[in-house]
Amino acid sequence: MGIFAEDLINFGNLMEATIDFPINQKELESVVGASVGLEPHMMDVVVKKKFLAFSKDYKVRLKEGEYFINDRKAGKRAVGFDMLLEKDIELLPSTFEIIDKRPYLNFWPYIKASELYLKVPNQFKERIIIKDYEIKKDALVLKLGVQK
């Protein structure tokens, strides 16, 4: 009985635990498909914007939000951002999905390709969710957990 109770406690701890999953700037650029700049709680996505006959680098500024999509059937684990200038939303790369005038970035393909995913027990792999995220000066850190 002691082993069974101990297993239940460990299982409960696993269900409540969050794991930091950092994505550095270079990796984030490959996910986004454009250059990015990171500051605490802010991310700049550098895109080309046309001015008359010229194109110029333009920074679309995104701010941390509290918006998440954890849809197992659709294979999405995405985070949503607040925009500083809503008119810039159409300038974002196609890797962003626009839902309710808010840009979302799906990290599920990146998470599945990571070494961390290989270490997760099989019964929990499809139940991984994004609980929160934080933008730091050198990385975007996803807070991953297991859906109950």
Residue 131 lies in a domain: yes
Q: What is the mean pLDDT of residues 128-139?
A: 94
Residue 78 lies in a domain: yes
Q: What would the two tokens of residue 23 be?
A: 């994505």
* Model pLDDT for residues 92-133, shown as the tens digit of each residue: 999 999 999 999 999 999 999 999 888 888 888 888 999 999
- CB atoms closer than 10 angstroms to residue 122: 6
Please give the Cα distance from 49 to 36 (Å, whole number): 15
Q: What is the pTM of this model?
A: 0.82
The predicted pLDDT at position 10 comes to 54
Residue 7 lies in a domain: no
Helices (H) and strands (E) in the chain, counts: 5, 9
User: Which amino acid, residue 140?
Assistant: L
Residue 13 lies in a domain: no
Residue 8 lies in a domain: no
User: Which amino acid, residue 53?
Assistant: A
The predicted pLDDT at position 14 comes to 58
The predicted pLDDT at position 8 comes to 43
DSSP 45-94: EEEEEEETTEEEEEEEEEEEEEEEEEETTTTEEEEEEEESSGGGGGGS-T
Cα three-residue angle 40-24-143, rounded to 5 degrees: 70
**Domains identified in the chain, total number:** 1
- CB atoms closer than 10 angstroms to residue 21: 20
Residue 1 lies in a domain: no
Which is it for the CA torsion 23, 26, 29, 31, positive or negative? negative
Q: What would the two tokens of residue 93 be?
A: 């790369």
* Model pLDDT for residues 6-52, shown as the tens digit of each residue: 544 455 555 677 889 999 999 999 999 999 999 999 999 999 887 77
* Model pLDDT for residues 63-103, shown as the tens digit of each residue: 999 999 999 888 899 999 999 888 889 999 999 999 999 99
Determine the structural domain holding residue 33 and report its residue range: 19-146
Residue 122 lies in a domain: yes
Rounded to whole angstroms, what are the CA distances from 37 to 25, 63, 79, 117, 148? 7, 12, 17, 26, 35
DSSP 109-122: HHHHTSHHHHHS-H
